[in-house]
Amino acid sequence: MLTALLCGAVMFPGLFFSFRKGLRDRFTHWSEADVVCVSERLVSATHASLATAAGVTVVASCNDVMTDSHWLVNWFALFGAPYMAFDIFAMYLSHYHTQRVRGLDVVLHHLALLLIFMPITLFFRRGLGDFFIGCLFTTEFSTPFVSVGKILIQLGLDDTRLHRINGVIILWSFFTCRILLFPFMYWMYGRQFGVPLHRVAFHLPLHCNVGNLAILAPQVYWFILLLRKAKRLYLRQSRGGGGDEKPLRRNEK
């Protein structure tokens, strides 16, 4: 398991600084803030893609949702830990250069994953529920599209067809993998143990339901923010916003 931790500690900072150097050399007119922000988002998309692949692999391999296990669960939890820690540092760099980047909620999200989710995954499950941890890994499926959307905005391409298509994919993937995922997990548990979906919550320990609710609540909040943003963009474009490219913008969310 130390190998997984070391791999993550080498890979994610290495990717960040490689992206940073490559972008700085390729886009010489970009400011350091632009380079740092785009590099951070590319690393975020890479981690999310790997997490999704790991999650799908685990879910597909588990026939028993409670007792089947897969080595990728603990391995990837440790592998991803350095990313969470380094991304907080990368966000600090972005803030240092731009004074206005992702907010406190994202930092708290990363800290919660490091200080709560990872210890539970590694030490407090008694080897049970790898299927459900794999499902939670797949919540990252929407993140690469979110990162692409932010990069397009940063490039001034938010009035293009590509950005609109990406926005639809973000809404679909976020709703499917971050919200519908929870009734799916309850349904899978009920199917295995012969419990109707509406009764599953009463068959689970209280702390399981509370934990799921604590994870689901911010997803619903963020999805509402995405819907509001999509509505604003639609209204702006329906008033005659053109599709012309705009100068590079680094501060817009």
Q: For residues 14 and 86, is the Cβ–Cβ distance under 8 A?
A: no
- pLDDT tens digits for range 28-52: 888 888 888 899 999 999 999 999 9
Query: What is the Cα–Cα distance from 44 to 101, expressed in whole angstroms?
Result: 15
Q: Which DSSP state fits 180?
A: T
pLDDT, position 95: 65
Angle between helices 181-193 and 206-238 (to 10 degrees): 140
C-alpha angle 151/6/74, rounded to 5°?
Answer: 85
Backbone angles phi, psi at 52, to 5 degrees: -65, -45
Indicate the range of 4-8, 17-21, 225-229, 230-234 predicted with least confidence: 230-234
Give 103 or 148, the one with higher predicted confidence.
148
Query: What is the Cα–Cα distance from 147 to 215, expressed in whole angstroms?
Result: 21
pTM for the full predicted model: 0.86
- pLDDT tens digits for range 47-70: 999 999 999 999 999 999 999 999
> Tokens 């994202």 label which residue?
106
Q: Which of 223, 54, 60 is nearest to 136 (CA)?
A: 54
The structure tokens listed for 201 are: 């919550």
HSE, CB side, 13 Å, CA atoms: give it for residue 169.
15
